[in-house]
Structure 1
Amino acid sequence: MSKKNFVGASDIGKVAFCPYSAYLDAQGYKPSKQELENKERGNQFHNQYNSKMLQHDNSQKISLKPLFILILIIIALAGLYL
């Protein structure tokens, strides 16, 4: 069986990420300098956006420790009066 009949894991990853890009790579397409610059700007934009979304998610989380302490206090006080 020739090596051409095998598909590598990296090829599957490329297709999963962007089928069109994987197709162009397979055809031997070489992007222009402008296209590479546009791609880099897009990657930077997405990285900044993702960082902002992660910060937003973290700021929305509520710490459960104070709630847990409050519940323990209520249970202790209830135990004193029962």
Structure 2
Amino acid sequence: MAKRKKKYINASDIGAVSFCEMSLYNKQAGVKSSRINQGHIRRGNIAHDELNAAIRAEAKSQFWLLRFIRYIFRVLFK
């Protein structure tokens, strides 16, 4: 009996299917996306990268405040 290669579905695949029902099939079948779709994907990736950078910058700027609040709670509730 020949062994079958297991195909796993990751979270990214689930997100893609929620946007386009054929995306997982096309990915597994090796179908290439059109040039227009590739442009949309690139712009979407850029937008996600910019959002992630903004979130990281905001979290970094508020890190000192969280440490200060934690210090106050430790002092007050020892």
TM-score (norm 1): 0.58
Equivalent residue for 1:6? Answer: 5
Amino acid across the alignment from 1:6: K
Equivalent residue for 2:12? Answer: 17
Segments of 5+ residues of structure 2 without an aligned counterpart are 18-22
Shift in Å, 1:32: 0.4
RMSD after superposition: 2.3
Larger gyration radius, structure 1 or structure 2: 1
Amino acid across the alignment from 1:18: D
Provide the rounded CA distance (Å) in 1 between the counterparts of 2:51 and 2:30: 32
Shift in Å, 1:25: 1.2
Residue-pair matches, total: 62
Moved more, 39-48 or 16-25: 16-25
Segments of 5+ residues of structure 1 without an aligned counterpart are 72-82
Equivalent residue for 1:80? Answer: none
- More helix per residue: 1
TM-score (norm 2): 0.60
